[in-house]
Structure 1
Amino acid sequence: MNILLKAVTIYHPESEFHLQQQHIFIESGTITYIGPETREAEQVVEASGLCVSLGWVDMFAFAGEPGLEHKEDLESVAAAAAAGGFTELLCLPNVQPVVQTKGAVNFIKSKSAYLPVTLHPAAAITIDAEGKDLTEMIDLHRAGAIAFTDGLKPLQGADVLLKALQYVQMFNGLLLNKPEHTRLTNHGQMHEGEVSTRLGMKGMPAIAEEVMVTRDLQLLTYTGGRLHFSAISTAAAVDAIRKAKAQGLQVTCDVASYQAFFTDETILPFDTNYKVAPPFRSQADAEAIKEGLRDGTIDVLMSAHLPHDPEAKNLEFDLAEFGITNLETAFAVANTSLTGALSTEAIIEKFALNPRKILGLPASGLAVGEQANLTLFNPTKTWTPEVNKTKSKSKNSPFYGRSLTGAVVGIVHKGQMVLN
């Protein structure tokens, strides 16, 4: 099939056409022309305000399969990702069984081979993600795991993280860790502060994240290697990572695209669709996140997509699971909440380019002669997510019925085009 992307504004700083409006012609999945001349095509994509970038990569998504298909499966997560503009996902290992064998890695790779979205398996750092004994990371790396993380389970043992940092240096591997001291957040429901006190809910203190960031950076200084912090949320964490980067440590980090959208004062009390971990924090933390995104301390915006079935969310607040679905709204949520803080160009960099650099993925797909790996979007279009139109199996989102600015038009990847 031949495709013409007509009069699209190109967002790709490595391209000679960056921020220019051009036509892109795709034949059998390969870009054969970029320039001012229009061409006949079997399918023409044309819309006012249409933009294109290198395909977006999500670094923190829960796929559900195997074992938890009632929440999400590989087909539904790929459909949700495509609707949200992502052509590639890093899938968390917290399924049943945990992704910790070559067979589990190969299962994800083979089952997603024909999907329009590439699913990259992240393997567990420790057996069953229990934070004790290391997995066979060299074998898992050879099998195709592109990063290592215990995902939703933060590493608590300093000795385990130290050994893992030393171990992955044998193949220049990447460790991801969600910084949280779980003994300090045990039974916590929301950010610890005035609002939690007023509501009579046990809080999750910012210090629980901050002490772990500090500890992990000290270990990284001692061992060397590469470390990525997943889902940071506090001002002190941003500041510590900023200083570590200035010292030359190989540290990167990401933040959920929704983290600065709400604060503990703006969420709807006791609505479990606002129950996330790390929680929505103070206004000062939200401003620090925006500054960290502006100055490059925070490298990546990610979805933190964590789908749940109704039985896990339609409960009393203290019994409900943490997490929201966000693959389909990740860009719009970031674009809406970061207006005035980040340009469209900077937002796209944190969705498309920086994740590729960190994960070692090729930054190809938007040049003549390359297999098209593209995201189509309109940064100024306003739309409203609807629960009955979601591609995800789960519906746990606070953004249904809320007006957002920034719409995904579709993706082109692996010779397939998916349009919203």
Structure 2
Amino acid sequence: MNILIKSAKIVYPQDKGLHLKKKDIFIKNGIIDTISSSVDVPSPTKIIDIKNLHVSLGWMDSGVSFGEPGYEERETLANGLDVAAISGYTDIILNPNTNPLPDTSSDIVFVMEKAKGKTTDLHPLGTLTKNSEGKDLAELFDMGNAGAVGFYDFKKQISNPNLLKIALLYAQNFDGLVFSYPQDGNIKGKGVVNEGENSTVLGLKGIPALAEELQISRDLFILEYTGGKLHIPTISTKNSVKLVAAAKKKGLDVSCSVAIHNLMFTDDSLKDFNTNFKVVPPLRTKEDCKALIKGLKDGVIDYVTTDHTPIDIEEKRVEFDHALEGTIGFESAFGSLNRLFGLEDSIALLTKGRERFAIREPKIAPGATANLCLFNPNVDWVFGPEHIESTSKNSMFLETTLKGKVYGTINNNQIALSNFE
């Protein structure tokens, strides 16, 4: 397949000769053939010519959930990957949030086989413990050999500190990446929202920041003792940023992420008891949001994630206490980040992180495999139900003004475009 991207501004700071320059990009059979001010192309060639078109490397998300196997009513692998592709993502890390849970090599192989042939590449996580029960380590080495890029008991704390110690020690034998969810379940208790003034006014049980910060402190002490590689997904508090910063200053091999919705929204959004705003970790305060944004700018927080979690309507249209946690986030991701950080910083955040998960780093250069995102950063628009392509519709971004629209991606000698025309 031949593709010509006409007169696109390339956002690629790795090459000063291309960065923010308008160029034609000719792609032949999935490989970038020519980058020039003007390209003559053979017939037939699909020509992409869009006003104010921008191009960057394809984006990566370090933690998304679908449903298959077990919860196909929420999202299938096929549709989830299609939505990721038209939202700008060419690589996603898939959370172990299914039934059955992926705790063996055969489970990893199943997911990877189902995901073949898509524009977006899927990189699965295996569970850290068998059935995510927090008792015995799962088949980490075998799952790693099968393609798992890390090990995570999704949204569950590792209650036993010795188990985390053993996991970090064992995973060093094959350079494995251990995830530890930052929440002490005993302190969280039955909490459903951030503990503070709003939880009191609304009469909802609170989750104190201490629940997150205590777990992170413990995990970092263990990491300092064992060595190894630790990833802390979706931190949400001001002091969590400080704890990670101090650990990095010591030279510990720790990374962390933050969910985009924890940058955009606070617990002030809960006043209408809209269950789309029920997430874990919970929405925190304005002070926390500011600290998280600063943490990203300073490089303390490594990655932004959509924390895309489809939940079907039956599990959301219930009383707030009983609703499942989660919001979808693919379709609104770029427009949210671009509004907060601007073009170049947003693209830097969206394209970083592959090396942490041992994923091949793409390039924009002749001879390189085309792994590209197409977008317009200068469109202001209001996100509505008609913009949701996910099977589940549980988005807290509805009625939010966003800046920038994604047209699609090119990867694996395929092209996925949204209905922008």
**TM-score, normalisation: structure 1:** 0.96
Deviation at 1:360, TM superposition (A): 1.6
Query: 2:347 matched to 1:344?
Result: no
> SS where residue 17 of structure 1 aligns?
coil
Mapped to 1, the partners of 2:20 and 2:247 lie a distance apart of 33
Amino acid at match of 2:7: A
Aligned to 1:221: 224
Partner of 1:3: 3
Q: Equivalent residue for 2:30?
A: 29
Using the TM superposition, name which of 149-158 and 27-36 deviates more: 149-158
Which structure 1 segments of 5+ residues have no match?
none
SS in structure 1 of the partner of residue 267 of structure 2? coil
Q: 1:108–1:120: 8 Å Cα contact kept in structure 2?
A: no
Say yes or no: does 1:314 pair with 2:349: no
- Contact 1:365–1:374, Cα closer than 8 Å, also in 2: no
Q: Tell whether the 8 Å contact from 1:307 to 1:324 is kept in structure 2 after alignment.
A: yes
CA contact (8 A) 1:255 1:302 kept: yes
**1:17 alignment partner in structure 2:** 18
Q: C-alpha distance in 1, partners of 2:2/2:398? A: 35
Q: Please, which of 389, 399, 420 is the counterpart of residue 391 of structure 1?
A: 389
SS at match of 1:405: strand
Query: Using the alignment, how far apart are the partners of 1:322 and 1:278 within structure 2?
Result: 9
Q: Is the contact made by 2:269 and 2:277 (CA closer than 8 Å) also made in structure 1? A: no
User: Is this contact kept in 2: 1:268–1:274, CA < 8 A?
Assistant: no
2:263 aligned partner: 260
Give the equivalent residue in structure 1 for 2:87: 84
1:39 match:
40
Given that 2:105 and 2:139 are in contact with CA atoms closer than 8 Å, whether structure 1 keeps it comes out as: no
The aligned runs of 1:328-343 (5 Å cut-off) are 328-336=331-339, 338=340, 342-343=341-342
Partner of 1:166: 169
Matches within 5 A, 1:272-291: 272-291=275-294
Q: Give the match for residue 73 of structure 1.
A: 76
2:86 & 2:192 partners in 1: Cα distance?
31
Distance in 1, matches of 2:102 and 2:203, equals 38
1:117 pairs with 2:115: no
Secondary structure at the aligned position of 1:148 is classed as coil
Mapped to 2, the partners of 1:383 and 1:108 lie a distance apart of 35
Question: Contact 1:83–1:391 at 8 Å: present in 2 too?
Answer: no
Query: How far is the alpha carbon of 1:47 from its aligned partner?
Result: 2.1
In structure 1, C-alpha distance between the alignment counterparts of 2:86 and 2:271, rounded to whole Å: 27
- Listed as ranges, the gaps of 5+ residues in structure 2 are none
Superposition RMSD on alpha carbons, in Å? 1.3
Deviation at residue 361 of structure 1 after TM alignment: 1.1
Q: Superposed, which structure 2 residues align to 1:169-184 within 5 Å?
A: 169-184=172-187
Q: 1:405 to 1:7 in 2, by over 3 A?
A: same
Paired letter, 1:84: S
Q: Contact 1:258–1:334 (CA<8 Å) still a contact in 2?
A: no
Q: Give the structure-2-normalised TM-score.
A: 0.96
2:403 — aligned with what?
Answer: 405
Offset of residue 216 of structure 1: 0.7
Q: Is the 8 A contact 1:257 1:331 kept in 2?
A: no
Of 247, 267, 273, the match for 2:250: 247
Identity %: 39
Larger mean CA deviation between 14-23 and 88-97 belongs to 14-23
Contact kept in structure 1, 2:343 and 2:377, CA below 8 Å: yes
